Amino acid sequence: MPGPEKAFPQSAFVAAAGLGTRMRPLTDSTPKPLLRVAGRSLLERLLDTLAAGGIRHCIVNLHHLGDQIRSHIEARQQPLPAVTFSDESGLLLETGGGVCKALEHLGPDPFVVANSDVVWIEAGENCLRRLGRHWDSQSMDALLLLVPGERTVGYDGTGDFLIDDRGRLRRAKAGADDALVFGGLQILHPRLFAGLQATPFSLNRIYDRAGRAGRLYGLVHDGRWLHVGTAEALALADSTLAKAAP
């Protein structure tokens, strides 16, 4: 359901502060966003996807081995997106609290939130551009990229949401055959965070708030999605990208 003509989001929050416990011992000395898939770090791939999607500025949160992430980004040659760091070294705020802390840098307009442990293989158009074309601030507070289970690699869950013919989402019950997986990329409106503080909480709280108002929407990804959450999934991502390379 494409929205009216408008500017695409130009700011993004990158969730990069996680401990990566499922990937130990790899993450004992290397933060998960800096693990390499097919020769490039997850974070580098993500920043390139954001830049191709029109993002000019992003906020990257830091906690586990944050100095390595800071150094990695500061050594990056590409000018966009410009990066501001949000330091969570004193207290890990989870996804929702991390965004709350970064709101002052994200501005008053809708913004992107992206996970740093995923890779999107696109069928054509940049996945963030597709989200931007479908975004409509009049009807939406949240627009999530979703993936059918058969297009996922390295994912061992059962799915998260059901989608209706208008693109609106509701939570899927456990084991639902038609449940779609959240693909780690979304557009959110800052009004969703009204009255909330930068304390540890999940973005699931935000989704529930949008859902109750009938303003939680989704868009189905047209390609494949690699979830890099374990050492086994890292190996799968390597082989999948090697086969997908031209």
Yes or no: say if 51 and 80 are a contact pair by the CB < 8 Å rule.
yes
Per residue in 135-149, pLDDT (tens digit) is: 999 999 999 999 998
Instruction: Give the three-class secondary structure for 175.
Output: coil
Q: Domain segments of the chain: what residues?
A: 11-244
22-48: pLDDT as tens digits: 889 988 999 999 999 988 999 999 999
Q: For the segment 138-178, what is each residue's pLDDT rounded down to a tens digit?
A: 999 999 999 998 999 988 888 899 999 999 999 998 777 78
Do residues 91 and 200 lie in contact, with contact meaning Cβ atoms separated by under 8 Å? yes
CA-angle at 127, arms to 4 and 96, nearest 5°? 85
Cβ neighbours of residue 236 under 8 Å, at least 6 residues apart?
153, 154, 226
Residue pLDDT, tens place only, 83-139:
999 999 889 999 999 999 999 999 999 999 999 999 999 988 999 999 999 999 999
List phi, psi (to 5°) of 186: -160, 160
Where does the pLDDT of residue 220 fall: very low under 50, low under 70, confident under 90, or very high at 90 and above?
very high
pLDDT for the residue numbered 246: 59
DSSP helix/strand/coil, 13: strand
The hierarchical CATH code for the domain 11-244 is 3.90.550.10
